[in-house]
Structure 1
């Protein structure tokens, strides 16, 4: 236990999400301790997380009933534990790389697509209503739109030089800005579905993930398209 606690303290992120800090990263530290003296690489763990998430998606589609839903959510959370472990192992070994970071981002987005599609199919099979498939398709469109524009925005040719250190902190926090910040905080929580999808499964209502996740991605896609239109529409 001492080795696990030591690895956790050495490799955790600060600040981090509640679910990561108190659930997934402590479990990921167990994985890191198990493989730190082996030839297993962080990138291999990243790729294995995708396969575990794919297995979870298959369970969502193929295993009916409450226990199938719960089993799929648990296996998916195991994939997220691996997703935490890859970066922790890289930090422990001092082998962080931009390529590894981009691979992790890519796998995260593929998992988001797979999960959303699997849940849409599950809801369609449970309720027999094609609207769930249509919502799932729409969700995939807005999710991919948001990801594509975010990737575009992060290009150095588009993003430009980073802001001066402390510039954001010097902005006056008006009431409107605080309200926007609160809304963005809620949206970030909903985007980070590993923080709550298990709770939705325990409640027996995976819709608690499905509808909010699609809604927040739709809002982000609209915001992103508006940004592109305003920035480039006059040039």
Structure 2
């Protein structure tokens, strides 16, 4: 019983202050806390757990490519869930040892996005290969472009040069702020729902149990397309504006193109 109490204490002490969804908090973090308990006095590092999570996700993807059938796909998604438990454990171990850092979060973000592309690509090929429907492959290529673009745009918008807020004390990006008013609340709820769809989609295990991982494929494609469009619109509106107007009659028309501040004509 003392071990169970210590695991519970590790769970409470090492979980994030605000988790992305209930599945993460109540399904994946408890076994992750048990793993952290087993590793707490070892030399295993949080980064090693992060890399192991990627390897386990690759195994799940390979299973999707290798076979079909309800039970096989369900087994592949169970393996994928193990990668999610490992992904939870790396941060919990870092917080328990008070080693959480911005660099560690960046590594975790990188591995998460690699896993996202890997899983989505393998699901697309699986659906194409075992349904004989070519549009799964075609749409999958487009969806992969949207996903990769969203990752690049997110990295850009999180840069301090862009004016992004600083990360939280444990290296996490700024959380979604609740907006005021009915429209603001609707937008906030929509953003949270979209995050549930794209943030380490554990719900794919439920869809696999129902024999409908195609629902994940369509939802993930739609959300990443919308997210890419939103990011491009936000960046375009902020950085793609015209130069300030030049008053007529000031003589500046003949002065040639304006030089950026601090630049001298050659």
State the number of aligned residues.
230
Structure 1 portions without partners, runs of 5+ = 163-167
Give the secondary structure class of the aligned counterpart of 1:136: helix
Q: C-alpha deviations, 1:141-194, integer Å up to 9, x for none?
A: 0011111111111111112566xxxxx999872221122122212212211243
In the alignment, structure 1 residue 84 sits paired with structure 2 residue 88: yes
Alpha carbons of structure 1 residues 170 and 161: separation in structure 2 relative to 1, 3 Å:
closer
- Name the CA distance, whole Å, in 1 between partners of 2:71 and 2:180: 47
Equivalent position of 2:27 in the other structure: 23
Worse overlay, 174-183 or 74-83: 174-183
Q: Work out which of the residue numbers 194, 200, 209 in structure 1 matches 2:201.
A: 194
CA contact (8 A) 1:77 1:194 kept: no
- Name the CA distance, whole Å, in 1 between partners of 2:202 and 2:213: 13
Give the secondary structure class of the aligned counterpart of 2:144: helix
- Rg larger in 1 or in 2? 2
Q: CA RMSD in A?
A: 1.9
Stretches of 4+ aligned residues off by more than 6 angstroms: 168-172
- Name the CA distance, whole Å, in 2 between partners of 1:6 and 1:228: 43
CA contact (8 A) 1:193 1:209 kept: no
- Structure with greater proportional helix content: 1
Alpha carbons of structure 1 residues 92 and 133: separation in structure 2 relative to 1, 3 Å:
same
Alpha carbons of structure 1 residues 67 and 161: separation in structure 2 relative to 1, 3 Å:
closer
Q: Work out which of the residue numbers 65, 68, 87 in structure 2 matches 1:64.
A: 68
Tell me the TM-score normalised to structure 1 length: 0.93
Equivalent position of 2:222 in the other structure: 215
Equivalent position of 1:97 in the other structure: 101
- Name the CA distance, whole Å, in 2 between partners of 1:140 and 1:88: 30
Tell me the TM-score normalised to structure 2 length: 0.82
CA contact (8 A) 1:80 1:194 kept: no
CA contact (8 A) 1:49 1:83 kept: yes
Equivalent position of 1:165 in the other structure: none
Give the secondary structure class of the aligned counterpart of 1:195: coil
Q: Work out which of the residue numbers 116, 119, 123 in structure 2 matches 1:119.
A: 123
